[in-house]
Amino acid sequence: MIFRHIATIYGKELRDSLRDRRTLISIFVVPTLIVPVLTLAVGRIGLRAMSKAREETPVVMLLGGNDSPDVVAALHQSAKFKLVPGTDNYQQLISDKKVRAAVRLPEGFETGLKSGVVQQVTIYYYEGELKSSFAAGNLERFFNDLKDRTVAASLAAHGLPVSLLKPLAVARENVAPPEKVGGNAVGGFIPYLIILLCFTGAIYPAIDLTAGEKERGTMETLLCSQVGRAEIVLGKFFMVLTSSLCAMVFSLLSMVGVFLLGGATIGRGARMAEAAARTSAHAAIPMIDPLGILGVLAMVLPAAVLFSALLLTIALFAKSAKEAQSYVTPLTFLVILPAVVGVLPGVELDARLSLVPLLNLSLVGKEMISGIWHWRYIALIFLSTCVYAGAALAWCVRMFNREEVIFRV
Amino acid sequence: MIEVEALTKVFTDRKRGEIRAVDQVSLRVAPGQIYGLLGLNGAGKTTLLRLLATLLQPTGGNATVGGFDLRREPQRVRAKVGFLAASTALYGRLTARETIAYFGRLNGLDERTVRERTRQLIDELGMQEFIDRRVEKISTGMKQKLSVARTLVHDPAVLILDEPTLGLDVMAARAILGFVRECRDRGKTVIYSTHFMSEVEKLCDVIGIIHQGRLRAEGTLTGLKARFGGRDMEEMFIKAAGGEIAP
C-alpha cells in the first residue's frame, strides 16, 4: 500500500469534483441555498395560510333554533363567526367551502336547558379542512361557554358555590431542563436528518467515480497504471467521504442559520410555538444540547464511512451512471426506514438494538440531544458501526479486484 | 520482451455458457519489434491485450512481460507497460498537463521527473498549443496525442496498443503510426492490435492472425503471403482464419 498513490488519486478526484458543476450543486448549492430557501419559503407560506385562516370570520349555518331566540341572538352577536340561515343542503355547502361549519340546535333547546334536560348540540364540519376546523372550534367554545354559564346560573339559583363542581385542581409542573424538552421534541428528527444528509451527499460522487468512470472509459486508463486496486479504492473512497461530510456540514450550518433567522417566524405556526408564544417569540425555538449535536456528528462519522463504501461498491456493479442510479434508489429507502423507526415513540435503545445499523444511531442520537449519555451503548454503537464500515470497505476493495464487476459488459 | 505460453481466458456467461475468448495463445515479441495482432471484432484481440496489461487474470497458461510474471507480479508488469486502447479515455476536467502529471505520479515518478518528462513529451509530441487546456475542450487528434503522452510518461519498455487509430481521421491515425515506428526504433517492444489490414502491412514486423480466440497463423508479411497466397492482405487473412468468415 503506497499512501502517496492514495493521496494522488484523492487529490485528482477532489480537483475533478470541484470543477464539476453537478458535484458543486449537490455538495454546496443544494444544501446551503436551495434547502434553506425552500424551508423558509414553505414555513412562511404555511404561516401566512394559517394566519389568513385564523383572521377570516367563518360563515356558519344555523340549523333549527326557531324556539331558542336568546341563543340565536347570542350566536348572531358573536364576532367569531358569521351566522347564516339553515338550508337542507348544508353538507354540500360545507363540502363546497361556501359554508365552513353548521350547528344544529334541538327542538326546545332553551326550554330544555332551563328545565335541566340534557340537550344535544351537533356541529357539522369537514375533517382535515383547516378553516372548517377553526369554525367548528369557535362553535364548540361558544357552546362550552354557554354550558358553563348555565351550570353557574343553576348552582347560584340553588345557593351553591361554583367551586362545588371543582373540588380540586390538578396542575403539571415541568422539571426537565429546556434542552431535554427540546431534545424530546426534535431529538429524533435531528439524527435522522444528519444520517440522511450524509447518505445523499455521498450518492452523486460514488456513482460518478465508479459507474461514471466506466461509462466515460477512464476506469480502464486508471487500472492500467502501476497503482494497486486497494489504493484506487481508498483514493476514491476518501473523496466520497469528503463529499458526504461536506454536504452534511453545509446543510447543518445553513439550517442553523435558517433556524436562527426564520425560527421565530416559522415557529409561531407550530404547536410548540403556540404554547410558548405567551412568553416570547424566541421561546418558540426548542433548546437543544449543543454537545448532543457534536456527539451525534461524531457518531455519524463511521456511518458516513459505511455509506461511502457501500455506495461505491453498489455503483461499481453498474455499467452506466443511469444504471447505478437505479441500484442506489432502493437503498435510500433502506436508509430512511431504520432512521424513521428510531423517531417513533416507544422505540427505546437497548443492547440488541445497539447492533442494528442506522436504527442504533437514530436512537442514541435522540438520547444524546436530550442530554442523556449512555456511555456503554454509545461505545457499542460506535464500535459496531466501525466494524460494519470496515467490512463495507473491504467488500469494496474485493469488488474492485473482480474483473467481472470492473469489466462487466 | 513479451513471452506468452498457452495463454487462455475463459468467461462464463449465463446465457451463452463458457466462452473461450483467448484459447491457448503462444507468442513472442522481441525488443525493437512490432507484433501486429490482426483479427475481426470479437476475435479475442482486446482480451489478449488486457491479459498482457494485467487488467484481466488468465484462466490458463502464463506470460512474462518486461521480464515479470503476469500472475505473480502484476504491479511490476504494469510498471513496464504502456497501455493504449480506444477504450482508455482521459479525464475531461483535467488539463493536458495535469493528465500527464497525474499518470506520471501514479506510475511512481517523483515530482522532478514528472516535470522533466512532461516538458520532454510536450516537445516531442508538439502539445504546446493545448497543454494547459482542459481535455474536454480539445480536438480528437489532440486527445490522441495526449493519450500517447499518458502512455509514455513513465518511459515503459513494452507498449500494448489496442486499436489506437479507431475513430481517428487520416492525419491523426498517421501521427499514431509514426509514433509507433519511433517507439520501435527506440528499442521498445510493441504489440499492436487492429482490424485494418493496411496498418499491419505498413507497420508490423511480425503478424499474428487471431480468430475465435486462437492464433491461427503467425509470421512476417512475406512469410504469410507465401504460405497462404492470395492477391491481397484481406484474402490472405480469410484463408488464415480457415475460411470461416462469411463474405
Contact, A23 vs A197, CB < 8 A? no
* A20, A221, A225 ranked by CB distance to B89: nearest: A221
Say yes or no for a CB contact (<8 Å) between B94 and A15: yes
User: CA-to-CA distance for A287 and A276, rounded, in angstroms?
Assistant: 12
Q: What confidence score (pLDDT) does residue B35 get?
A: 95
Q: Which residues on adjacent β-strands are paired with residue B63?
A: B4
pLDDT band at A281, cuts 50/70/90?
very low
Nearest to A218 among B81, B91, B107 (CB): B91
Predicted confidence (pLDDT) at residue A271 exceeds the cutoff of 70: no
Angle at B134 between CA B131 and CA B139, to 5 degrees: 80
B53 CB near a chain A CB, below 8 Å? yes
What gap in Å lies between CA A195 and CA A390, rounded to an integer? 18
What local confidence, expressed as pLDDT, does residue B2 receive?
Answer: 94
Closest by Cα among A213, A392, A187, A208 to A304? A392
Q: Are A289 and A371 in contact (CB under 8 A)?
A: yes
Cell numbers representing residue A24 in the block: 458543486
Q: Which of B105, B109, B134, B154 should we substitute to test contact with A (largest number of A Cβ atoms within 10 Å)?
A: B105
Mean pLDDT over B24-52 rounds to: 93
ipTM of the complex: 0.90
Q: Does B157 touch chain A (CB under 8 A)?
A: no
What b-and-e string marks burial along B210-231, b requiring 16 or more CB atoms within 10 Å of the CB? bbbbbbbbbbebeebbeebeee
Statement: residue A185 has pLDDT above 70: no
Is some CB atom of chain A closer than 8 A to the CB atom of B154?
yes
Decide which of A346 and B56 is more confident: B56
Are residues B106 and A222, on separate chains, in Cβ contact within 8 Å?
yes
* pLDDT attached to residue A273: 42
Q: In A11-50, which positions are buried (b, 16+ CB within 10 angstroms) versus exposed (e)?
A: ebbbebbeebeebeebbeebbbeebbeebbeebeeebeee
Q: For residue A238, what are the contacts with CB-CB under 8 A and spacing of at least 6?
A: A6, A10, A13
Are B79 and A226 a contacting pair, CB within 8 Å? yes
CA of A286 vs chain B CAs: smallest distance (Å): 46
What Cα–Cα distance (Å) separates residue A333 from each residue in A245, A249, A316, A323, A353?
Answer: 20, 22, 20, 17, 19
pLDDT of residue B247: 44
The predicted structure's pLDDT at residue A52? 83
Per-residue model confidence as pLDDT tens digits over B116-143 = 999 999 998 889 999 999 999 999 888 9
Question: Minimal Cα distance from B98: which residue of A?
Answer: A12
CA–CA dist A248, B144 (Å, integer):
40
Please tell me the distance from the alpha carbon of residue A263 to that of residue A274, in angstroms, as a whole number: 13
Name the pLDDT band for A284 (thresholds 50, 70, 90).
Answer: very low
Query: Where does residue B22 fall: left (phi above 0), alpha (psi -120 to 50 degrees), or beta otherwise?
Result: beta
Query: What are the distances in angstroms from CA A325 to CA A316, A392, B93?
Result: 11, 19, 22
Is the confidence at residue A268, as pLDDT, over 60? no
Length of chain B: 247
What's the distance, CA A373 to chain centroid?
23
Q: What share of chain B is helix, strand, coil (3-state, %, to 5)?
A: 40, 30, 35
At residue A61, what are phi and psi to the nearest 5 degrees? -100, 135
- Per-residue confidence (pLDDT) for residue A287, from 0 to 100: 60
Residue A287, Cβ density class (10 Å: 0-12 exposed, 13-18 middle, ≥19 buried): middle
* Cβ of residue B166 closer than 8 Å to a chain A Cβ: no
- Would you state the pLDDT for residue B244? 53
Residue whose grid cell is 435522540 = A366
- Judged by CB atoms closer than 8 Å, whether chains meet at A217 and B75 is answered as no
Is A222 an interface residue toward B (CB < 8 Å)? yes
Residue keyed to cell 446543510: A251
Q: Angle at the Cα of A35 (from A30 to A41), degrees rounded to 5?
A: 140
Q: What are the pLDDT digits (tens) for A44-70?
A: 888 888 888 888 899 999 999 888 999
**Position A30 confidence tier, pLDDT thresholds 50, 70, 90:** confident
Enter the C-alpha cell of residue B36: 501486429
Q: In A211-320, which residue ranges form alpha helices assigned H by DSSP?
A: 213-216, 218-223, 229-267, 271-276, 290-316
Which grid coordinates are listed for A209?
A: 467515480
- Looking at chain A, the whole-number percentage of residues with pLDDT higher than 90 is 41
Within 10 A of B12 (CB to CB), how many other CB atoms are there?
10
Residue owning grid cell 489478449: B48
Closest CA to A124 of A151, A93, A170: A93
Residue A220: pLDDT above 50?
A: yes
Out of B94, B106, B150, closest to residue A227 by CB: B106
Averaged confidence pLDDT in chain A? 84
Strands B34-38 and B206-211: parallel
What count of other Cβ atoms lies within 10 Å of the Cβ of residue A285? 18
pLDDT at B227: 84
Nearest 5°: the CA angle B124, B129, B131 is: 75
* pLDDT above 90 as % of chain B: 64
Grid cell listed for A16: 475533478
Distance of residue A400 Cα from the nearest chain B Cα, in angstroms: 11
Burial class (CB in 10 A: 0-12, 13-18, 19+), A375: exposed
pLDDT (0 to 100) of residue A390: 94
Give residue B177's identity as a one-letter amino acid code.
L
- Report CB contact under 8 Å: A8, B150: no
pLDDT tens per residue, range B90-109: 999 999 999 999 999 999 99
> Per-residue confidence at B84, pLDDT binned at 50, 70, 90?
very high
User: pLDDT at residue A265 above 70?
Assistant: no
- Do A133 and A79 form a contact (C-beta atoms < 8 A)? no
Whether chain A has a CB inside 8 Å of the CB on B5: the answer is no
Distances (CA, A) of A90 to A126, B29, B118, B160: 11, 96, 85, 86
Q: What is the pLDDT of residues B40-80, one digit of tens each?
A: 888 899 999 999 999 999 999 999 999 999 999 999 999 99
Inspect the interface and report whether the beta carbons of B87 and A5 lie closer than 8 Å: no
Please say if the pLDDT value at position A132 is more than 50.
yes
Q: Are A15 and B53 inside 8 Å of each other by CB?
A: no
User: Residue A188: phi, psi to the nearest 5?
Assistant: -75, -30
Residue A275: predicted pLDDT: 47
The pLDDT assigned to B158 comes to 96
Which residue did the predictor score with more confidence, B219 or A283?
B219
Residue B142 · residue B127 · CB < 8 Å: yes
Is B102 in the A-facing interface, judged by CB distances under 8 Å?
yes
Contact list, A12 vs chain B (CB under 8 Å):
91, 94, 98, 102
If 0-12 CB within 10 Å is exposed, 13-18 middle and 19+ buried, where does residue B164 land? Answer: buried
